[in-house]
Amino acid sequence: MDQFILQILNGLDKGSAYALIALGLTLIFGTLGVVNFAHGALFMLGAFVAVTMSKLLTLSHKVVDETRTDFLGNPLQVDVPYIYDWFGQATGDVIIDWAVPIAIIAAIPVMIAIGFIMERGLIKHFYKRPHADQILVTFGLAIVIQEIVKYFYGANPIPTPAPSAFVGSFDFGVALGFDPNAIIYPYWRLVYFFFSIGIIAAVFAFLQFTTFGMVVRAGMADRETVGLLGIDIDKRFTIMFGIAAAVAGLAGVMYAPINSPNYHMGMDFLVLSFVVVVVGGMGSLPGAVAAGFLLGILESFASMSAVIDILPGINQIIIYLVAIIILLTRPRGLMGRKGVMEE
């Protein structure tokens, strides 16, 4: 039972990332009809917003420390972060420690701006083009973004620690009546899960309960009719592209302490996230979220040593096997709508 619960937790952790990226992908496809293969790059850029914030907060200058000397007796020069000069050392240490959560504030306008630039500068020219053209141009854009990040940040992963308050693990075993240390789970992964639930709930609430969201949902169902009512639906869809970019970016920011950011992490998640979207149903937001968590949990169970001993390598292909089975039995996916991607 303890192993079962642990694998559920691991699956929810992976599923959170899959669901957030797939949610953004589905928002873009559902509103603009664009198959955006650059969406994984937006996830990666969000992670590097956290890296950049961490580096900015630790920018320093040289100061002579009279209390410390080298082997010749000369005072040492030490690096002092600028933030110490502005807020004092105690407050400065707290701000540096909370660099990743602070990066969330910066990531929202940055990712929305990047989304606007991508949509207005490139993707809008491919709305009426075949999906194959959209895939090629957005995949090329993803590679360009990836290489730019590699040029400025290097090819190696960059550790980006979580706040010290969330370092360590929570003992689920004791909370659930098991032996101590039977079910240990990192605090930050729990934070990531609840953060993901909050973002998903916020997106659904925005679409369901705001006038803007209602118009967007109407436009997703019948774009021409909404346009005939005098509503600038294209402008609203551009805003939705920016929101989708922000969702992917926030997912990346919070994922940075879990998996040290590197320039190819977007591609690593992109393929799996597209599988999630297809399994959930192209254009279905609830389907994308449900499939993300479902496939995350299945992948977690397939990674158990007992399963791998019986079926070596099953953890690498389980998601694709499930996708094949679902598409053979239900071609539209779990919650796909009739007519989507069927022309």
Q: What are phi and psi of 255, to 5 degrees?
A: -85, -15
**Domain boundaries, given as residue ranges, for the chain:** 2-52+100-329
329 residue type, one letter? T
pLDDT above 70 for 71: no
258, two tokens? 């879990």
pLDDT digits (tens, 9 = 90+) for 3-29: 777 788 888 888 888 898 888 888 888
Does residue 341 surpass a pLDDT of 50? no
3-state secondary structure of 258: coil
Q: What pLDDT digit, counting tens, does each position of 215-225 carry?
A: 887 877 777 78
Q: Quick one: tokens of 173? A: 């075993």
pLDDT of residue 232: 78
Task: Check whether 93 has a pLDDT greater than 50.
Answer: yes
DSSP-assigned states of every residue in 192-246:
HHHHHHHHHHHHHHHHHHSHHHHHHHHHHH-HHHHHHTT--HHHHHHHHHHHHHH
Per-residue model confidence (pLDDT) at position 278: 84
Give dist(CA 203, CA 288) in Å, integer: 13
- Average of pLDDT values for 130-146? 88
Q: Give tens-digit pLDDT for 239-267.
A: 888 999 999 999 999 999 998 999 988 88
pLDDT of residue 343: 47
Q: What pLDDT, on the 0 to 100 scale, is given for residue 70? A: 66
Whole-structure pTM value: 0.87
Beta carbons within 8 Å of 115's beta carbon, 6+ residues apart: 42, 241, 242, 243, 244, 245, 246
**pLDDT mean across residues, the chain:** 85
Least confident of 201-205, 233-237, 321-325: 233-237
The residues, any chain, with a CB within 8 Å of residue 98's CB and separated by 6 or more, are: 163
* Chain segment 161-210, per-residue pLDDT in tens: 999 999 888 877 676 667 777 678 889 999 999 999 999 999 999 988 88
